[in-house]
Structures are given as C-alpha cells and as structure tokens.
Structure 1
C-alpha cells in the first residue's frame, strides 16, 4: 500500500482533508451556537460544501504533470475514482451531523450540491488546472446565496441559484447532474492541462 501513501502525499490529500473537516465542523458549530433551527439552512450548507469541495479540488492535480499523463497508468479510471471518493468523503462528513441535534439536511440537497460543485471543480481543473479550479464553484456559490435569489417558479432563477433551491427542484437537479457528469468525464479523460516545466520544477 506504499503507492497509495505516496499518491495521497503527492496530492496533499491529508492537508486538504483536514481543511474540509475544519470547515464543516466550524459551520456546524456556528449554526449550533447562533441559530435555534435543527437544520442548517441551504445557504450556509452550500457555502460549507463549496469550501470543502475547493479544498479537495486542490488534490486533483499532482506536482508532476508529465507523471499524471503517463501511459503506463490507467489515469482515466484513477481520476474518476479520485473524484468519486472525494464526493463520498464530503457527503459522509456532512452526514455525520445526523448524529447531532443540528444537521446538514435534507440528504438529497447535500448529495445534489456536493455532486454539482465537485463536477464544476473537476471541469475547472480540466480546463485551467487545479490551482484555478476554485474560481467557478466560488463564483457560482456566491451568486446562488444572494438574498434575492431564493425558491422560485422561474426556471432561470432555479438554474442560477440551483444550490439553494429546495431538494426535488427539477431544474436545479438537472443543472447539478449536468455539471457532475460533464466535470467527471472531462477530468477523467483529460486530467489537468500540462503546465510549463518551469512551473513544476522543484525549487533549488
């Protein structure tokens, strides 16, 4: 299993996982302390999921781009597995709140937002690289949590604010699914773009 340890370390997974856990716990503590609701609201949950996704999104590229594209490794399968495990980890961490009096729920909203934001991050990684993959999920989340964008019968609003729409909203679910599938395929098949050697060479 040494290859797994090396793989996780090369992608800074322990650090990213620590950040994701800290963000989820901090949002839970804040909601427990300053609200009387037993359910963490959609805006807070969306921001929390986005920050956790961005943290793990940094692990989608390794330090050596050439190694990440070598033909000796089945990279599409490994990338897809990495992404799916990241989604499972974030969902599991959020679901642990079900053991407490303040919860991230409903589960359908947690699953939808995690899948959509992780797909958006993976798509950003495939196009711009992991270092800039946070831009799209951060921007869309900040738009979605705007006070004037809430539950609406307008499909355009439902798409723009899909993160904060109620679970079961068709347009929001479709939007998240498209982002998840597109991001998964783009990242699994392409990975991140090759950076100039000067950017990946170790410091001397």
Structure 2
C-alpha cells in the first residue's frame, strides 16, 4: 500500500483533488442557473486540466527504469482523472434545475482526457493541461454552420448524438490514452 501513497504524492494527487473540487464547485456556482453544455465543457476542462498536471513524476527517467509495470498504472491514472472529473460534474449538476445529458459529459470527458494524455506525452506531464485548454478555448468561437468541419472543431459543444463529435472525441480518447499509456510523460 505504501507505493500507492508514494505514487499519489509524486503525482500531486492530493492537490489535484482539491483543485478539481474547487474548480467544479466554482464553475457550478457561477453557472448554476444556466447550466448547459458550455459551462459543462468549461467545468470538465478545468477539472481535467488541474488533474493532468500530475501525469508525470518529478523524474521521468526514474519512472521509465522502475521495476514495476508502468503502462497499467498510467492508464489507471488517466482513467481515474476522467472518472473523477465526470463524476464531480454529474454530482454538482444534480444540485441545479438544469441537467446536461450524461452522453455529452462522458463524450467530452473522454475526448478532453485523450487530449491531456497527448499533451503529457508530447510536451510533458506538467503541461498536460495545454491541449484540453486550447481546444476548449477555440470551440466556442467556431461558426455553427452545420458542416462536418465545424462539428469536428466544436465537438465539445455539439448536442448528443452528433456522429462527427462522437467520433472526434472517441478518436482523441483512444489515441491519447494509448499514447500516454505506452510512452508516458515526455522527458
């Protein structure tokens, strides 16, 4: 059990949990009367971004040479971030009058998680927040003309059942999770 404690501390998990809860509660408080896909996207992005900072340890070379199998732990860490972010959003939305569909929350959390995994692999775990935040910053400004390109670029804000948004999120989730699980954070 000691390795779990050491792993959690080396990945800043206690600070990430506090930041995740604070970001989610703060976003819900600000948007509680107009809870819709946009505040949900912002809340998920904030929650995943603060937790993604711990996707690599203090010494990536030490992580790579450890005698324990890292891929399973990397995948579990990534999955737990998604479950914690999505679960927290689901919990706080029950406090308000408006409910966003579970499929939108699951789709957005999975895609943002894949982006965090890609960012951690490409630029390092301490920058795991960059790609989710970048995509979330661009998505609201994409023109909603109904084209496939706009549906892909703004997949975070598309309604439930939009095939282009679902496939984009699924592709990002699988690619990011597979890349991060296999390679880990950049040195």
Q: Structure 2 length as normaliser, TM-score? A: 0.94
Residue deviations 1:22-50 (CA, integer Å, cap 9, x gap) = 11111111122xx3x4xx12111111111
Partner in structure 2 of residue 9 of structure 1: 9
Q: How much has 1:104 moved relative to structure 2?
A: 5.2
Partner in structure 1 of residue 150 of structure 2: 157
Q: How much has 1:20 moved relative to structure 2?
A: 0.9
> Does the aligned pair in 1 maintain the 2:55–2:128 contact within 8 Å?
no
Pick aligned residue for 2:44 from 35, 49, 62: 49
> Does the aligned pair in 2 maintain the 1:125–1:187 contact within 8 Å?
yes
Q: Which of the two has greater helix per residue?
A: 2
Task: Please give the secondary structure, in 2, of the residue aligned with 1:66.
Answer: helix
Number of aligned residue pairs? 187
Partner in structure 1 of residue 80 of structure 2: 85
Q: How much has 1:94 moved relative to structure 2?
A: 1.0
Which runs of 5 or more residues in structure 2 are unaligned? none
> Does the aligned pair in 2 maintain the 1:50–1:137 contact within 8 Å?
yes
Partner Cα distance (1:6, 1:136) in 2: 27
Partner in structure 1 of residue 25 of structure 2: 25
Distance 1:71 1:62, change over 3 A: closer
Query: Which structure 2 residues correspond to residues 177-196 of structure 1 after superposition, within 5 A?
Result: 177-194=170-187
Q: How much has 1:103 moved relative to structure 2?
A: 4.8
Partner Cα distance (2:153, 2:100) in 1: 21
Partner in structure 1 of residue 58 of structure 2: 63
Partner in structure 2 of residue 198 of structure 1: none
Query: Which structure 2 residues correspond to residues 126-145 of structure 1 after superposition, within 5 A?
Result: 126-145=121-140
Is the counterpart of residue 100 in structure 1 residue 99 in structure 2?
A: no
Partner Cα distance (1:19, 1:163) in 2: 22
Q: How much has 1:71 moved relative to structure 2?
A: 4.9
Larger Rg: 1
Pairwise CA RMSD of aligned residues?
Answer: 1.5
